[in-house]
Structure formats: structure tokens, C-alpha cells
Structure 1
Amino acid sequence: MTENSAGPASPESGEGSNEATLVRSQERSDKVEADLEKHPGNWRLLTGDRPTGKLHIGHYFGSLANRVRLQEMGIESFLLIADYQVIYDRDGVGDIQDNVMSAVADYLAIGIDPARTTIFTHSALPGLNQLLLPFLSLVTDAELRRNPTVKDELASSDRPMSGLMLTFPVHQAADILFCKANVVPVGQDQLPHIEQARVIARRFDERYGRVDPEHPVFPEPEALLSATPHVLGLDGTKMSKSRGNTIEIGMSADQTAKLIKKAKTDADRHISYDPANRPEVSNLVLLTALCEGADPYQVASEIGDGGSGTLKKRLTASMNDFFEPIRARRQELIADQGHLREVLRAGNRRAGEIADQTLDEVRHAMRMVY
């Protein structure tokens, strides 16, 4: 695996969100992408989802399809279903069992191969979670509170912050570092999380040392920025299950058609692709283009004065055609819960072995082997 130490500003610099840093991060991401194609065996990837609901088309176009692409490039991949993260901002787990199994079905249906991608859950890996203790010794309360996710929770929630929520950035670092992942696909808003993991990897090496004098225990992970345009919900706002503006991957063709029919547009009959000024219409155009593998400007030009009705009909047909084989495969998988559970158990076993091995290295580096 490659190890790179240079990177964007650290959390303590206060400069991680400025434009220059984003430019540098994109440049680093472009270099990573180029090396992934040339030397896929040098990389180990970690990505995942929080099972708070069913996966939807925003997940698919935003990250799931890219995971399949990276897997097919020959990159060893780890796919986390972050079930412990469900409880960091809520009082219960709700339909977590169903959501976890639904996610496994979605992964397999879109082309994730459990022989090449290890699918696992937080709660099954004691070794991963035990890394939280030494990692927490490497960060300060002030650094945690500067993390964008934690800051948003503090600003928007009317309930006291849980300890798990406060330490979320460190838990995420443990997710990445337990398997020594050195590349993590993210959006720009998640760059501070990757930098926090890089900081923890560096500080562990500086404070506790190494097992192998030639290599630190943990590599510093690189961010792979998504090239996919941001997909909005059917109302033109952030796609979210709680807002009722999503189309789940597992929905039927009829359900999809009904939701698209209700999608928000605007009063201008002429269809154009202008995300800044016409976000609702442009989002439907973009979804059509993604399903067809086409250019959104060309799609808009072809519809022209056909209006929103024509746009919605075309999107409905394109989306149902695109997802038909995925949905058919998903139905077969959902009907075989035993197979889904075995896939997850096998992934948990493999990830657990790696977590235990990493924890053993951590104990040796910390001289805590008795």
C-alpha cells in the first residue's frame, strides 16, 4: 500500500475549508485516481453507509456505482454498514435489522462482489471499536467540536449532544484505519473527516511508535473526490428519506412513476439545464442523463418546448429501464435471507480478523502486551 504524508491543512490550522485547500485536495484526488488505474494493487479502499433507511437513487449515482467501478479495477475494498452510527443522534435503532439486510441486497444487486469487497457491520467488530480508546488520546475536545458534522449537530439540534456524536470523527477514523485503508471515496464536505484520520495516524506514530521500524502502524488515507454531479431530491432540495423526496433502489416501476409525476418543476415550459437558476428541472434532466449515459445539456435540448410533462415521462422510462435488471436481481436476493446473512457473516469474520490483527499491532506499538 502507498503511504503519503503531505496533505490539506490539518484540523488545528482552521484553513481546511477554503477554496485553495479544495483545489489542492482535488489535485491530490486526481493523482490518486490516476494511480488507482495504473497500480490498483497498491490501494485498499474503505467506504460505507449509515443504515437509517433504504438506499435510494442518490446513493446509487452518488457513490454505489463508483464502488462497483473501483472494485472492477481490482482495488481491494471494504464496505461498512455503520450500524453503531445509527444511535449517535437518536434514541433507538428503529428498523435497523431490515435496513441492514436491505443494504446487503442492494449491494449485491448492483454488482458488489463479496469475494472482492468485504461487507461488514460496526457492531460485529470489537477490535475496530477498541481502537477508539487509543485514538481518543490523540485528539482534543476543541478539535472534535470544530469538525463540521459535530458543529452542525450542535447548531441544529435542540437535544444535548451524546458522547458518541462528539466522538464520531474518531470513530470514523477507526473505520478507515482498522483495515489500513489508504483511499476513501468522499464528497468535498467530508474532507475534514479524512484529514482527522490522517492526523490520528501521524500522531499515533509520533506518540506510540512502530512495530516495523520501516513503516508506521497506520498509513495516512487519501481522499478520492466524487466526480458525479450532485443529485437532489424530487423537490429540488437535498435528497433525504425524512423529506419524502427519494426514489428507493428497490421501488417498483409503478412507485417510481408516481413519485416522478409529483416531482417539483417550475412555470417555464421550455426545458433547459441550468442547475443554478432552475434546480428542480435541472435535477430531473440530470437524472435522465445519468440513466441514459447522456449529456444533460443534450437531453434538455431534445425535450425543448415539450415541457415538464415530457421530461417526466422520459425520466420515468429511462429510470425504469436502467434499474429494471437491478430490481429483478434484488427481488431474488431479498427472497433468500439466509444467503444475505451468510454474506454478512463471512464479511464480518474477515473484517474481524483484520481488526484483531491491527489491534495486536497497536498493543505492541504501545507496549501493552502482557
Structure 2
Amino acid sequence: MTATTAGPGSTGPGHIEPRSTGPARTDHPRTEHPGSESRTAELERRIAQDPGGFRVLTGDRPTGALHLGHYFGSLRNRVRLQDLGVDVIVLIPDYQVITDRDTAERLGEYTDGLLLDYLALGIDPARSTVFCHSAVPALNQLMLPFLSLVSVAELNRNPTVKDEIAHSRQSTVSGLMLTYPVHQAADILSCKGNLVPVGRDQAPHLEVTRTIARRFNERYGPVFPEPDMLLSAAPLLLGTDGTKMSKSRANSVPLSATADETARLLRGATTDADRHITYDPVARPNVSSLVLLAALCLDRDPHEVAAEIGGGGAAALKRTVADAVNSHLAPFRARRAEYAKDLTGVRSVLRAGNERANALAEATLDEVREAMGAVR
């Protein structure tokens, strides 16, 4: 998932100006592909030089507990960007819960859980914004003009949508599921985000956002930036069944799990028949994912971790991983428990974030109406 009142505007794909200067110039052409490693390296250099010139929107659907894959894949990076001085906006897209399910089960509980996780991990409400999709009507009004800018064929070709449909709980594809990338475009462009941290599997969604921004600007005049992808260097962690760790696949290790629950889940993780532990992601993906998880928590090289376990087998590997995860997450769990004692205060963070997000989206919608000639 994936960036962001009047934010950085752009008539070209690459130049990013500070938010206070209005539409960006096009005198800084980009030659790299927006999803390339070299482009990401360039963006990291520019973030270090001028973090205030960037606005990020990212988030998580409230469909269950955040897990270790979220943590190493995106959550730590959000805190890093925030601490560098980037304007980080975190969306809880509650309306999007029903893209692949019939009802929004336990929505309030899961939303509270996300808030607790964000705060415990270091998202600072004084520097970052957390808001809820359903609390920002102007955001959803952007969907109508945006839908006119993409074809059904383009949406059908989106590989990320295809994968999400394949793992959907629904027997048929809803219109909401098919247009999911356009919803994400409205999320990002409602606050004029110019930077979106993504994994490679989410890159096609962001390409839809870039296409919508470009086509709107060509048709009606320059209003939106074309957001850049900030590719995540985080490795892919497998779930306990050996497939991608995911809430919907019931194979994850939640951040909010107790130490005992974490150990139990990891004991059930899939490995292989070779008792000697090595780190070889290609030949031994399941074992290597566990080794990598321990190494990430210990801040060590995975080859060294594997060598220390050696002939100890899967049982020793799983004990090592459980100990490393529980030790690494202990401070987070303590902070989360403290925040949970004051849910009223925690929910006030969301109310304040909703207020700011409404102001940003309403300002953007006003610009869209003016560009389209809808203002009378």
C-alpha cells in the first residue's frame, strides 16, 4: 500500500520542489526508470539533502494484526523517513477492507490495533499524520474523475490486482476490487504525495497513480505530481507455511503476539529435511527465511547465524529465531501495553490526523474542480 494541502505539484515526472513553492518546474529531467535501483539511490540522496521536499503516504488495511513482514518490509522505514524530516502520512484505508471480503469484520478492533502498533513502533503524531479513509469525503470524490482516466483493459492487466483476486475470499470480482489501484491513486494524490515507498509487487499499482496524474495534467492542466517509487531494500520474509507472509493466508507472526505465542508459531514453521542449517535463499528458501529473520533481529549477517546453528537442526534454528524475535520486540511490546491503557488518548491521534487529512484533500479537490471548470 502505499503517499499524501497543497503539496508538491509537478508538470513533469521527476523534479520535486518544496511544498510551499507550488507546481514544480521541469528543468530537472529524469532518465532512470521510476522503479529502478539507481532512481531509488538518487531519491535517497535527495531525501538526505532536503527531507522537507517530500511527502509520503503509506498505510495498512485494518484486516488483522500487523506482522513481522510488515515490520521489516515497511514499518521501520516509515519511522526512518519520519526521523529524517519527511512528511509521513499513514492511512488506515477502512473502506478498502471490503475489496476482497463481504463485511468489515472487527473493524474497530483492528483499527485500534494499528494505532497501537504505529505509536509503539515510533510514529510520532507531532511529526507524522495518521488518518482513516472513511473520515475524508473529499478523497473519495476524486475517484470519479480518476476513473475516467483509465480503461477497464488497463485495470484488468494489472498484475497486482490479478494476484489479489487470486487470493480473494470472494467468488466473484467486485467493482471495488477491480478499481483498487484507482482508490490508491486517490489516496496518494488527495494530499499530493510525491514519494511512495513500495515493494516490487506493488509497483504496478503506483504506475496507475502516475498514469492518472499525468493524464489529468495533460487534459486539465498541471495539478498533480507524478509520485516516485522508493523501492524497499527489505527482503521478503516467508510465512510459517513457506509462502509470502500475509494476514489473509493465516501464516504470519503478529507483532502484538506474546513471547509464548511467537515461539509456538515459529515452532510450526516449515523447514526441510536437511538437518545442517545453511543460508541459501535459492536452494533452501524456508530455512533461509528463518535464518534471515533471526539475523535481522540480531543485526547480524545471516551466514554467520546459520554457521553458529550448524548441525543443531530445525529445532535449534526455531529456538534461535524465537529468542531473537522476542528480544527484539520486547521494547515495542512494553510500549504497546502502556499505550493500550489509554485508548481514548490513542484514538485522539486519529481524530487529529483526520482533521489534517480533510484539509489537505479538500484543498486538492478544490483545485481539481477549478481545473475541470466545475466551479461556479
Q: TM-score, normalised by structure 2?
A: 0.89
- Kindly indicate whether the alpha-carbon contact (under 8 Å) linking 2:34 and 2:229 is maintained by their aligned counterparts in 1: no
2:297 to 288, 291, 297: 291
Residue 368 of structure 1: CA displacement?
Answer: 1.1
State the match for 1:122 in structure 2: 133
Residue 26 of structure 1: CA displacement?
Answer: 2.2
State the match for 2:17 in structure 1: none
Residue 2 of structure 1: CA displacement?
Answer: 7.5
1:141 to 126, 148, 152: 152
Residues 107, 169 of structure 1: alpha-carbon distance in 2 compared, 3 angstrom cutoff? same
Distance in 1 between residues matched to 2:131 and 2:96, nearest whole Å: 14
State the match for 2:256 in structure 1: 250
- Kindly indicate whether the alpha-carbon contact (under 8 Å) linking 2:65 and 2:254 is maintained by their aligned counterparts in 1: yes
1:174 is aligned to 2:186: yes
The 5-angstrom pairing of residues 225-264 of structure 1 reads 225-264=231-270
State the match for 2:195 in structure 1: 183
Distance in 1 between residues matched to 2:329 and 2:11, nearest whole Å: 39
State the match for 2:171 in structure 1: 159
Distance in 2 between residues matched to 1:194 and 1:96, nearest whole Å: 26
- Kindly indicate whether the alpha-carbon contact (under 8 Å) linking 1:106 and 1:330 is maintained by their aligned counterparts in 2: yes
SS of 2:36's equivalent in the other structure is: helix
Residue 4 of structure 1: CA displacement?
Answer: 7.8
State the match for 2:116 in structure 1: 105
**1:344 maps to amino acid:** L
2:278 to 272, 283, 293: 272
**1:42 maps to amino acid:** G
Distance in 2 between residues matched to 1:104 and 1:335, nearest whole Å: 13
Q: Which moved more, 1:199-208 or 1:105-114?
A: 199-208
1:312 is aligned to 2:318: yes
SS of 1:323's equivalent in the other structure is: helix
Residue 265 of structure 1: CA displacement?
Answer: 1.6
Distance in 2 between residues matched to 1:40 and 1:349, nearest whole Å: 24
1:45 is aligned to 2:56: yes
- Kindly indicate whether the alpha-carbon contact (under 8 Å) linking 1:179 and 1:358 is maintained by their aligned counterparts in 2: yes
- Kindly indicate whether the alpha-carbon contact (under 8 Å) linking 1:144 and 1:166 is maintained by their aligned counterparts in 2: yes
- Kindly indicate whether the alpha-carbon contact (under 8 Å) linking 2:277 and 2:287 is maintained by their aligned counterparts in 1: yes
Alpha-carbon displacement from aligned partner over 1:103-133 (angstroms, at most 9, x marks no partner): 0000000001111111011100001110001
The 5-angstrom pairing of residues 52-91 of structure 1 reads 52-91=63-102
Alpha-carbon displacement from aligned partner over 1:44-83 (angstroms, at most 9, x marks no partner): 1111111111101111011101111111110001101111
Alpha-carbon displacement from aligned partner over 1:13-70 (angstroms, at most 9, x marks no partner): xxxxxxxx98962222221122111111111111111111110111101110111111
SS of 1:139's equivalent in the other structure is: coil
Distance in 1 between residues matched to 2:252 and 2:265, nearest whole Å: 8
- Kindly indicate whether the alpha-carbon contact (under 8 Å) linking 1:79 and 1:118 is maintained by their aligned counterparts in 2: yes
Distance in 2 between residues matched to 1:326 and 1:156, nearest whole Å: 31
- Kindly indicate whether the alpha-carbon contact (under 8 Å) linking 2:165 and 2:173 is maintained by their aligned counterparts in 1: yes
**1:163 maps to amino acid:** G
Distance in 2 between residues matched to 1:4 and 1:132, nearest whole Å: 21
Gap regions ≥5 residues in structure 1:
8-20, 210-215
Q: Which moved more, 1:200-209 or 1:285-294?
A: 200-209
**1:332 maps to amino acid:** E
State the match for 1:14 in structure 2: none
- Kindly indicate whether the alpha-carbon contact (under 8 Å) linking 2:11 and 2:217 is maintained by their aligned counterparts in 1: no
Residue 87 of structure 1: CA displacement?
Answer: 0.8
Q: What do you get for the CA RMSD once the two structures are aligned?
A: 1.8
Residue 276 of structure 1: CA displacement?
Answer: 1.2
**2:157 maps to amino acid:** R
Residues 84, 317 of structure 1: alpha-carbon distance in 2 compared, 3 angstrom cutoff? same
Residues 4, 268 of structure 1: alpha-carbon distance in 2 compared, 3 angstrom cutoff? farther
Residue 274 of structure 1: CA displacement?
Answer: 0.7
**1:359 maps to amino acid:** L
**1:259 maps to amino acid:** L
2:226 to 220, 231, 235: 220
Identity %: 59
Gap regions ≥5 residues in structure 2:
1-7, 15-31
**2:205 maps to amino acid:** H
- Kindly indicate whether the alpha-carbon contact (under 8 Å) linking 1:233 and 1:245 is maintained by their aligned counterparts in 2: yes
**1:178 maps to amino acid:** S
Distance in 2 between residues matched to 1:314 and 1:130, nearest whole Å: 50
